[in-house]
A and B are shown apart, each in its own frame.
Chain A
Amino acid sequence: MARYLATRAIYSVLVIFGVAVLVFFLVRLGGDPTALFLPPESSIEEIARFRRQMGFDRPLLIQFGEFVWRALQGDFGKSLRYGEPAMRLVWDRFPATLQLSAVSLLLSVVIAVPLGIAAAVNRDSLTDRVGLFFSLVGQSFPTFWLGIMLILVFSEKLAILPPSGRGTWQQLVLPAVSLAAYSTAIITRLLRSSMLEVMQADYIRTARGKGLSERVVVYRHAVRNAAIPTITVIALQVGALLGGAVITEEIFAYPGMGRLAIQAIANRDFTIVQAFVIFMAVLIVAINLAVDACYVLLDPRLRKS
């Protein structure tokens, strides 16, 4: 187990390094930020001067080496736009994103788990049909579109929920719902299909043959087994939620990391983009490690005696 975790840890470091390489070079593919920081009428000399001041004129590999060296010391550079340490700017906005993602995940699980189980247990029933319909809808509607629709209906027409900002719980409702839709759909579908598979299993027949009530059969014997593949998906959804939060935050003007990242991309604020992507990579790698640990708890077959 310890060895397994050690291997995973090494892989994690490699993954994060790979992400760092990718983000560093990709972010520079779109050109440097000089043009966006200087007025359009700047002369070629002024552009060159700015570039020299910022160090953008040096070979990329040297810049990369410096970036890695500093990042190892926890220094991700200062934001070109805000003049503050990039990682701190990301970190400052993390609580907002965490709140949005956590509420969305909670919402997804609270809706998806009972719905997925109910749909599977009452296969082809009305519950099942309705559940399938909504999960199809939730999966196929882009977050962006759904967000706009929610705003149109609940803010513009009904005027019962504010469409943007952060601070009150009302402001959290629309972004959380639109962000949760996709995850809810995925988790419902997956839990439903795992439950259907598990309910066909021989050990479920055994459990029924023992005289256990259907409730015990479903919730004790089936759910625990169906949970194993579902947990992976839920964990993957954490990544998807954090990623989806980028668009959601933009639509609902929610001041989180995603919004910071989108603006940073638009402004070619390299340091923030780098800090954001690496932060996300570390976060997702950590979540995956946690999921592995969860597996061991849920599935005794993975435990070493």
Chain B
Amino acid sequence: MVDGITPDTTSSHGGLVNGPVSEIYNEILPLILDAVIIFIGAYILARVISFLLIRLSEHFGHARIAVRMIVPILNIIIYTTAILLLLHQIITLSTIEIVAFSGLFGAAIGFGLKDVFANIIGGVIIAFEKPFRIGDRITMGEHYGEVAEIGMLDTRIVTPDDNYVTIPNFKIITQSVASANAGLTEMMVVIDIYIDHSADLDRAITIFKEAVVTSRHVYISDRCFYTILTENQLHSVRLRARAYVWDLRDEFECKAEISRRTKRAFQQEGILPPRYYVPGEMPELS
């Protein structure tokens, strides 16, 4: 090698081999590395912020769901920023190239990435329209549970049986979703108790009402009221209480506690549970 002259890698025989290799080595690999670093960074940042906010929200008592609402919005902002950063690293396009790129991009979405983008759009709708929030009790399709996480692509709920169910976000567009508490910590619970036709109905209603209002889980306010309804059925009288549990996490404990205490009081007062009546038999009324 003569001093001052650099070797021409493209014109030699080695250029055919070294050209693509060096291109991969010098340009594509750093891009991939950048992409990996950006996405890992975004992922870690999103996880850390989500973790901190969810932990912090526990200190806010009944306002915790409002704090958790920020999590999906922040996730979207973080991941969108990561994607924009990456695009900025890869391409700088003219207007014509943007139009061409958009067409190709649209076709790619239409054919291959349809579901992925439907999920992302679903995630954006969930984050901004808030049909439900992290911490809500929702019914989506056949699944019922507490929303544990709203991701870019899917929503995860924990069922009462402690199953972790992942639901794609696009289902928010295609299915109806019922939120039992709509962003609040209190939610209505319905408790049914059945008594015999011959039982003292007024006494039973008084006991049931007192079981509801003295429950440690029940919350009553102008908005959160309670009612006791009765319905005559073939073999029994159904007493139905509608009341608000102060924290939706206690939904089942609230129902169980009120039912247990009511049953004990009914036993003490001699209020009988329903029994099977032979058709034509008239129950003895108290």
A binds B: no
A residues with a Cβ closer than 8 A to B are none
B residues with a Cβ closer than 8 A to A are none
